[in-house]
A and B are shown apart, each in its own frame.
Chain A
Amino acid sequence: MSKPEEELRTLAKSLLEKGVVETVIGYEASESSVRPCFASNPSETERLVWNRECRLNLARYLRGFKNKRVGIVAKGCDGRAIVELIKENQVDRKDIVVIAVECSGVYKPVKYGYPSPERRLTEYCERCLTRVSPIKDYLVKSDGNVSERNPPGGDGGHLDWMSLFKKCLRCMACVKSCPLCYCTECSIEGFKPALIHRINAPEELLTFHLVRALHMAGRCVECGACESSCPVEIPLTTLYHELNEWFRENYDYVPGMSLEPPPPLVFKEGEKLGEYAFNKK
């Protein structure tokens, strides 16, 4: 067991024992990798692990714990997702105890039928903006074993997006694993009137992916949960990163980095749409 892992377990255990939280959401070992773990009993914290396979963004589970005190193990990007969820009024900061873990990147997953000989960091981890969550109640430091990041690769301009989209099965794993896809009526899934048909038609895949991309623009925290869940390995984070870059240039906004300022496309009652955004530049 690594030192951060030990620290994490002790911390989670004491939070549960003292009744600070009802549940701690973390990662546990599965037979082939890691998977989400929901510890509500102090003894269950023994299962918690922290390593480079912890890809899934646990913030996507937070909305299921409304009005309950919950602890969450958060990487830098998970923390950014929590920040966005707070800004978008989806979760209450008071209910969440953020156990930030210093992250040095996660490995690209090894998926069915294609064992890769060497493990390497995901591309989106190489673009990482923060290794520690912007909001935190506790911090578990890494054991100093921080690997070098390569400079970020090129943008998505060289990719043949149409042929990548054509592989899509519309399994919805990108939507369902995303911490910020929380619409109860999803415009690209069973919405009436239908924007796109329920049954996957190749000519509608562009619509599907562009609608999702536009909804992620300026909101995506680039945690890569969608990309690492995708069974056909579409590099979605690269696409959303491009849109985020546009937002950064035009609105000076980077999602999830701090609780201020408000997201550019959000407006309060009495305020005109985009007042903040248009004033900015």
Chain B
Amino acid sequence: MLSIKSENLRIILEDLASKNALIAPVERNGYFEFSRLRKAEEIRLDYTNARIPPKRFFLPERQLVFKYDPKKGVTEEPEDDFKAVLFGVRPCDASALSVLDSILLKPPYRDPFYENRRKSIIVISLSCTKPLEECFCNVFETGPVRGFGEDLTLTPMDKIFAVEVRTPRGLALVEEFRKLFAEADGRLLEEHENLTRRLVGEMNNKIRVDKEKLVRLEKEADEAFFQGNAQRCIECSICSFTCPLCYCFESEDCLEKNSYARFRGWDTCISPSFTRMASGLDPRASKADRLLHRFCHKLSRIPLAFNAYGCIGCGRCVSLCPVGIDIREVLRKWG
């Protein structure tokens, strides 16, 4: 483990910002969000978590897939250079990236756009020292100190940051600024361990999950629970759009001057049009079906197929749902 003084971290961040290569948390319009910065002083190191998860840099809301010109045929548009360091991601959100990796980068069907962005963005996570009330990352062990998708893990200690190098890419970044880092001494290691223990203990969520049990959710789900929530659900897309792990997309062809362009963008399985086919047939015709599908996908099908949970416990859907549909209830009942 390494350590870095706050003022030295500033130097690195300022250097990155001056090269237009820094994406970091800032406060805008009354909440926190990630933004590409020109000046590092705007960064809010005391931020809680971003309202919109960092997935928007890896899976943008709208992305060009290809262009089609009647004369030239399909033209592939090279993705713009997106090189950046994404600084200050919470461990839960970083873990979401690792789960997305196992889904979207699994051969033979690799998502080239996601892969490209994943290659060009270095992720530095910042441990959560004040988890929010809605947080339940401890349930899936995706935080609060350490996640499993980041290149470097920074933990704020007293005036310094403990630095854990997680990938060769992270190491390369450290090497670039080697003089600013120091080896962690025994005392820091001990303090770090104590802090980890304290933070995990402080998480106010005492949910326990059992993977074997959750896998049976689809078969054992009781109808009353999902019917009740379906009656409430207003079919907006907040839960999917603000989920760091929801990756479903739809594509659309747009007519431009003399050519067509195909875009892809976020979609949500809660929408009635998600599974409705041209014939009118809809395998998930009712809201209850769709809600059950959403929870099953996250908690039993992704675990079965990719050996990781499709939820990382960030609490966004819990907090932002206008009608109080709560995934923690599902975990308590069927976990």
Residues on A facing B (Cβ under 8 Å): 30-36, 38, 56, 60-61, 111-115, 164, 167, 169-173, 175-177, 190, 197-201, 225, 228-229, 231-233
Closest chain-B Cβ to A49's Cβ sits at a distance in Å of 12
- Docked pose: A173 CA to B242 CA in angstroms: 12
- Docked pose: A231 CA to B236 CA in angstroms: 11
Q: A229 and B236 in contact (CB under 8 A), knowing A111-B31, A114-B30, A200-B62?
A: yes
B241 CB contact (under 8 Å) in A60, A169, A175, A190: A169
Assess the B322–A232 pair: CB atoms within 8 A: no
Q: Is B52 an interface residue (CB 8 A)?
A: yes
Closest chain-B Cβ to A175's Cβ sits at a distance in Å of 8
Within 8 A of A (CB), among B13-52: 29-32, 47-52
B324 CB contact (under 8 Å) in A35, A175, A225: A35
- Ordered by A's residue number, 16 sampled pairs between the chains whose C-beta atoms are within 8 Å are A35-B232, A36-B231, A38-B232, A56-B323, A112-B31, A114-B48, A170-B237, A171-B238, A173-B234, A198-B252, A200-B266, A228-B322, A231-B52, A231-B320, A232-B29, A233-B29
Q: Is B216 an interface residue (CB 8 A)?
A: no
Main secondary structure of the interface of A (DSSP, over half): loop
- Docked pose: A148 CA to B36 CA in angstroms: 42
Q: Is B250 an interface residue (CB 8 A)?
A: yes
Assess the A113–B236 pair: CB atoms within 8 A: no
Q: Return the 10 tightest CB-CB contacts between A and B, nearest first.
A: A35-B324, A199-B265, A30-B324, A173-B236, A229-B322, A112-B319, A176-B234, A171-B237, A176-B236, A113-B48
Inter-chain CB contacts under 8 Å: number: 130
Residues of B within 8 A of A197 (CB): 252, 254, 263
Q: Is B235 an interface residue (CB 8 A)?
A: yes
Nearest A residue (CB) for B49: A113
Assess the B29–A172 pair: CB atoms within 8 A: no
Assess the A199–B48 pair: CB atoms within 8 A: no
B48 CB contact (under 8 Å) in A33, A34, A115, A200: A115
- Docked pose: A19 CA to B231 CA in angstroms: 21
Nearest B residue (CB) for A228: B322
Assess the A113–B234 pair: CB atoms within 8 A: no
- Docked pose: A36 CA to B257 CA in angstroms: 48
Closest chain-A Cβ to B6's Cβ sits at a distance in Å of 23
Assess the A112–B49 pair: CB atoms within 8 A: yes
Residues of A within 8 A of B232 (CB): 35-36, 38
Q: A112 and B320 in contact (CB under 8 A), knowing A176-B235, A198-B250?
A: yes
Residues of A within 8 A of B133 (CB): 32, 115
Assess the B32–A113 pair: CB atoms within 8 A: yes
Assess the B134–A171 pair: CB atoms within 8 A: no
Q: Is B61 an interface residue (CB 8 A)?
A: yes
User: Which of A34, A35, A38 has most B Cβ within 10 Å?
Assistant: A35
Q: A31 and B326 in contact (CB under 8 A), knowing A111-B51, A231-B320, A233-B31?
A: yes
Known: A35-B324, A113-B51, A199-B264. 17 other contacts (CB 8 A): A32-B134, A32-B318, A35-B323, A38-B228, A56-B323, A111-B51, A112-B51, A114-B30, A169-B52, A169-B242, A171-B237, A176-B235, A197-B263, A200-B61, A200-B265, A231-B238, A231-B241
Nearest A residue (CB) for B265: A199
Residues of A within 8 A of B231 (CB): 36, 38, 61
Q: Is B1 an interface residue (CB 8 A)?
A: no
Residues of B within 8 A of A61 (CB): 231
Nearest A residue (CB) for B232: A36
Nearest A residue (CB) for B326: A31
Residues of A within 8 A of B238 (CB): 171, 173, 229, 231
Assess the B263–A199 pair: CB atoms within 8 A: yes
Closest chain-A Cβ to B243's Cβ sits at a distance in Å of 11
Closest chain-A Cβ to B21's Cβ sits at a distance in Å of 23
Residues of A within 8 A of B266 (CB): 169, 199-200
Closest chain-B Cβ to A53's Cβ sits at a distance in Å of 10
